[in-house]
Structure 1
Amino acid sequence: MKKIVMLCCTFLLMGKAIAQEIPLVSNISSRNNITLNGKWSYIVDPLENGYYDYRLMPFKNNGFFENKKFNTTDLTEYNFATSATMDIPSDWNSKDERLFFYEGTVWFQKDFNYKKDSKTKGILHFGAVNYDAKVYVNGKLAGTHVGGYTPFNFDVTDLLVDGNNFVVVKVDNKRHKDNVPTVNMDWWNYGGITRDVTLAQVPNTYVEDYLVQLDKKEKGKISGWIKLNSETANQSISVSIPELKIKKSITTDAKGMAYFEIKANPVLWTPEKPKLYDVTISKADENITDQIGFRTIETKGKEILLNGKKVFLRGISIHEEAPFRSGRAWSEDDAITLLNWAKELGCNYVRLAHYPHNENMVRQAEKMGIMIWSEVPVYWTISWTNPDTYANAERQLHDMIYRDKNRCGIVIWSIANETPHSDERDVFLSKLAKYARTQDNTRLISMAMEVTKSPNNVNTLHDNMNEFVDIVSFNQYLGWYRGTNESCKDMQWVIPYNKPVIISEFGGEALQGLHGDKKERWNEEYQEELYIQNTQMFNRIEGLAGVSPWILVDFRSPRRQLPNIQDFFNRKGLISDQGIKKKAFYVMKDWYAQKEQEYK
């Protein structure tokens, strides 16, 4: 974080005009937008020659961000106009075979037209850039952002001109020990501008953010608030839900906030009937539309209650991996394909691991009646005692909650995955859990804990984080990383907490199409037997309220190198990377069908 501040100061001293990263503009897709998706020119820059001189000092001028026109009378060693182009959103690893394993800097550039209007602002919005982004508009630094899976935006009004403009983005996806996630992870570090890029033209005073939900304390009431981007009082704003015959006029206070409470009796959102209501927020010069559902989620002892009714979370874990092709998933079509597979499996819930997924995925799941576990990449061995690492994690948690707080499909915020026990880790995660509750006290908090070996086939879960979570979730890999499939028959589980239990991961690898003896690893029969034995074991776990096997689809991972089997894929998917279902898929499907009948 300090590095970013120092960088901005450097450019200020050079007299560069700098825009500001501003609070996220909620529901960006509903604004008056110019899409900047499409072809972008790109330059691969492993030594960061476009940013540093040969003494490793940032350039005071020149540099790729200046977008200087190529001229043979000058010594210019780059030219965006003749460089290769790449479709954005995407990742460079799957778009350019030279960059398959590449981690470093790539520069992206795009021209666009813009009509200035003194009554509006220009907000440049990125769905995500992995990992460190520096954004320039018309040669001036607009701002920087760190974090590969959350959205960010800049007010670039003063940098825009009438007519032709250009934006340049320096993207650096190098891993660092103090980052979130850290250097060690089990998924592909896809680099690039991986989600939608838009330029929103909004009124000078605009609706920055809003919350519309069932009142937590009082039934039969919808409550919430609307926030302007400035502390502007006496602004009249309307909240409309036509299907509920609601149209409420409210007025902002001196801080630009307007609060409302409305008596209502909406049909509650459920997986069986995922009811969403058209909601409009408007003022004289602005109209924002959304679809919002209403439901309650809570725990009671070892039960999870959706709208007051006990529910079993029939889930699957999902990485943001594109179906049928290797690369980062981002589009609505990608989301629909993955979620339809989850529905076919019998799921009413998905664990979106190990980072906030794109907004298309969240919105489509909600429409399809699928509950969501959403997670931040506090994964494995984070730098627990580094204040900047904590600040990074908290910022990503904030941005995840901020973007999706109106999405009723999300029922669980997860703050970590498989973190090794230590006092430092407990301080870090407890602080993160407490922060999450300050941002949203209407959803459940969990984390994927880790189970270690126990004697005499009795596993007793112990984690000091139990007091900070609503659901006790843990990963276990009987039959793969410990024991054999036969071990499941005698294994007992003791969870000494009066809270619901979720098996957040289990599974084993199989190459689709490879067949053999069920006692030999890597084939479909072994994976099938693993699922048979594990699901039978789950029936003996007291308080089990859900499972999310690892994982829906095979995904790229540099840790998975076994030739002719893995070939840089984690093969734990129930479906191959080419969309072919493995035998274990049907074991899980049958077990979920039984669970669905039990909970009717």
Structure 2
Amino acid sequence: MAQLIKHPNPQFRRTSWTDLNGTWDFRFDLLREGLLQEWNKGFKPTHKIEVPFVYQSERSGIHETTFCPVVWYQRTLNKKAVNDQRNIIHFEAVDYRTTVWVNGAYVGKHVGGNSRFSFDLTSFLTEEENLLVLRVEDSLEDMTIPRGKQYWKETAEVMWFTQMTGIWRDVWLEDKNLYSVETIRLTPDIDKKEVEVELHFSEEAALSDSFTLTLELTLDDRIIAKESHWARGKYLKFCVGIDDFNDHGLGNWWSPEHPNLYDLKLELDVDNQLVDTVYSYFGMRKISIENNKFCLNNRPYFFSSVLDQGYFPDSILTAPSLEALENDIQWIKKLGFNGVRKHMMSSENNYLYLCDYYGLLVWSEMAAAYDYSEEYAYQMVDEWKVVLQQGYNHPCIAAWVPLNESWGVPDIYHSKKQQAHAQTLYYLTKSVDDTRPVISNDGWEHCQSDLFTVHDYSSDEISLAERYSSVDKIIADMPGLCGRKFLFCPGYKYEGQPVMCTEMGGINYRLGLGMNVEPNVSNEEDFVEEIRKVINIYKQSPIIEGFCYTQLTDTETEICGLLTWDREPKASAEKLNAIFSPDQ
């Protein structure tokens, strides 16, 4: 296996970039006076903050949980504009409304706490040292903001966690030529034994008379293909044949069991001069539904997954380090799972990369709102588009899940408008990616969906065995508790989709934590046995194609993790692996 890549965006990387994480100036703006006092031109800081950790977290160095509607950041950029070069600043996530200035000049604005964005700073870099200033605005009162499990109160409780404001993922500055590759879209086709490569180029490259694009494709440093394409204009698409694998388990298809990744190098030449080099990677794999079965690489594949809330004790939703993300993924594999639901949040670049690298299928979700409005609908579409664009090339992503448990669409069962919103997200996703299944509303009140997914925290073996003996019984049981939601909205019905229970388990076991949650079991032996009873029902069901156990770790308000919040196992990894592994 190749060495791990250390880059904020392993899927699209150049060698010339600057890490902007670290110590920044910071100031609260409780009275919203910063704009009037022209803090955008520079302000006197009251705190230092460690980016990318939000001020509510310990890691930030501030650890203030009292809500503030507006906060400011600033730092210097030791960068001067150079001819024929662009300087692009990338923000992987800032919560929620962000405005950016450089040397007092307005650069741009972004709305959304889970979508990535960037600005071209070239024309603003006028000095050897340039002042970068951010104003970030957030709200607790607006229940239509897509925020996932962040609470709208200052103190976490029940299933909601500490809210966040500000920069919470990586920031970096990238240098690139005026003539450059802007985007790469890679679509593997194992049936045709080829990968489709789609490229967009910068305006400057598109306006040139012609240019040459050279591609080199390698696997474990072995050259698989190398070819050059004469191009003109903004767009180029071509296919590269890959015939170094076969269908007998001896080749190089990507799967959780064999996470083979091809490396890609693209070089752009204009007037016989190399102007841009971009590195990427991809996996040859296929997700499909055949004969009502969920399939990976043309074979039925049982999806054994765990729900990951992605919270850490001292950094909330921001991973403390790349090693912390790596540790979580290795634990998921060690416990016997082949997949993960990264729950109620968009997945960061490096999380998806590590899932590609180690081999883990991902249910790719979006942070949900709690209530519906027209403004929310527009914002959700805008952010979801970015999630789709950024995730498309990752072989680990096995399904798209824009909505979960009717969050953001609480009246979807009766509201045609909210049903239309779910359908919009479904068909928008299908219109740009027809290679993966899409779930319109995971858990219940489905509209059009490619998978029939159910959430069921029941634990009675007899009832569960009876319920999951047929689809009709699942639908009739809804699934088994009075007052539960219907599984389909009016006008929609089961049409033969693969059936999965994508939330289940949730067995509370307290180990070294004092949270006010009633445990189901009091010792490791009973914990393992209760898990075994429930999981065996789904494994033995004649109709279930997969499950998602809740959950990987405890959180600040929950004790249903297989690991504690500090990532200590609550039971023997070997015993749990024997339960969760599809092969056991």
Q: TM-score range by the shorter chain?
A: 0.7 to 0.9
Equivalent positions of 1:369-408 (< 5 A) are 369-379=359-369, 381-383=370-372, 386-408=373-395
2:255 aligned residue (270, 273, 289) = 270
CA contact (8 A) 1:44 1:105 kept: yes
TM-score, L = length of structure 1:
0.79
1:92 aligned residue (37, 52, 55) = 55
1:320 aligned residue (310, 313, 316) = 310
Q: In the alignment, which residue of structure 1 is the partner of 2:184?
A: 210
Matching residue's letter, 1:264: I
Per-residue CA distance 1:57-81 (angstroms, 9 max, x = gap): xx3xx3221105xxxxxxxxxx12x
Kindly report the root-mean-square deviation, in angstroms, between the aligned alpha carbons of the 2 structures.
2.8
User: Is 1:475 matched with 2:455?
Assistant: yes
Shift of 1:360: 0.9
Q: In the alignment, which residue of structure 1 is the partner of 2:16?
A: 32
User: Is 1:195 matched with 2:169?
Assistant: yes
CA contact (8 A) 1:447 1:473 kept: no
SS across alignment from 1:449: coil
CA contact (8 A) 2:443 2:503 kept: no
SS across alignment from 2:306: strand
SS across alignment from 1:47: coil
The CA distance in 2 between the partners of 1:508 and 1:576, in whole Å, is 13
User: Is 1:409 matched with 2:408?
Assistant: no
Q: In the alignment, which residue of structure 2 is the partner of 1:219?
A: 192
Matching residue's letter, 2:226: K
Per-residue CA distance 1:482-501 (angstroms, 9 max, x = gap): xx677546545435441112
User: Is 1:257 matched with 2:235?
Assistant: yes
SS across alignment from 2:550: coil
SS across alignment from 1:570: coil
Per-residue CA distance 1:347-369 (angstroms, 9 max, x = gap): 11111111212111110111001
CA contact (8 A) 2:94 2:114 kept: yes
Per-residue CA distance 1:77-105 (angstroms, 9 max, x = gap): xx12xx32111111211135652252522
Q: In the alignment, which residue of structure 1 is the partner of 2:91?
A: 126
The CA distance in 1 between the partners of 2:62 and 2:278, in whole Å, is 41
The CA distance in 1 between the partners of 2:532 and 2:68, in whole Å, is 40
CA contact (8 A) 1:416 1:448 kept: yes
User: Is 1:162 matched with 2:155?
Assistant: no
Q: In the alignment, which residue of structure 1 is the partner of 2:207?
A: 232
Shift of 1:339: 0.4
Distance change (3 Å), C-alpha of 1:329 and 1:269 = same
SS across alignment from 1:377: coil
Matching residue's letter, 2:26: Y
The CA distance in 2 between the partners of 1:523 and 1:35, in whole Å, is 46
User: Is 1:181 matched with 2:180?
Assistant: no
The CA distance in 2 between the partners of 1:476 and 1:485, in whole Å, is 12
The CA distance in 2 between the partners of 1:388 and 1:276, in whole Å, is 40
Q: In the alignment, which residue of structure 2 is the partner of 1:455?
A: none
The CA distance in 1 between the partners of 2:231 and 2:455, in whole Å, is 47
Q: In the alignment, which residue of structure 2 is the partner of 1:551?
A: 551
CA contact (8 A) 2:465 2:541 kept: no
Distance change (3 Å), C-alpha of 1:393 and 1:121 = same
Matching residue's letter, 2:57: S
CA contact (8 A) 1:323 1:329 kept: no
The CA distance in 2 between the partners of 1:225 and 1:520, in whole Å, is 52
The CA distance in 2 between the partners of 1:433 and 1:589, in whole Å, is 34
Q: Which runs of 5+ in 1 are unaligned?
A: 1-23, 52-58, 69-78, 452-462, 557-568
Distance change (3 Å), C-alpha of 1:432 and 1:548 = same
Shift of 1:447: 4.8
Shift of 1:200: 1.1
Distance change (3 Å), C-alpha of 1:84 and 1:522 = farther
1:431 aligned residue (424, 436, 441) = 424
CA contact (8 A) 1:316 1:347 kept: yes
Shift of 1:524: 5.0
SS across alignment from 1:433: helix
The CA distance in 1 between the partners of 2:239 and 2:12, in whole Å, is 25
The CA distance in 2 between the partners of 1:48 and 1:596, in whole Å, is 58
TM-score, L = length of structure 2:
0.82
SS across alignment from 1:286: strand
SS across alignment from 1:248: strand
Matching residue's letter, 2:266: I
Q: Which runs of 5+ in 2 are unaligned?
A: 1-7, 153-158, 245-251, 269-273, 476-493
Equivalent positions of 1:233-312 (< 5 A) are 234-242=210-218, 243-254=222-233, 256-266=234-244, 267-283=252-268, 284-312=274-302
Moved more, 273-282 or 103-112: 103-112
Distance change (3 Å), C-alpha of 1:331 and 1:30 = farther
Aligned length: 515
Matching residue's letter, 2:292: K
Q: In the alignment, which residue of structure 1 is the partner of 2:114?
A: 149
Equivalent positions of 1:358-369 (< 5 A) are 358-369=348-359
CA contact (8 A) 1:301 1:499 kept: no
Q: What percentage of aligned pairs have identical amino acids? A: 21
Shift of 1:545: 1.5
CA contact (8 A) 2:56 2:64 kept: yes
The CA distance in 2 between the partners of 1:398 and 1:304, in whole Å, is 25
Q: In the alignment, which residue of structure 1 is the partner of 2:27?
A: 43
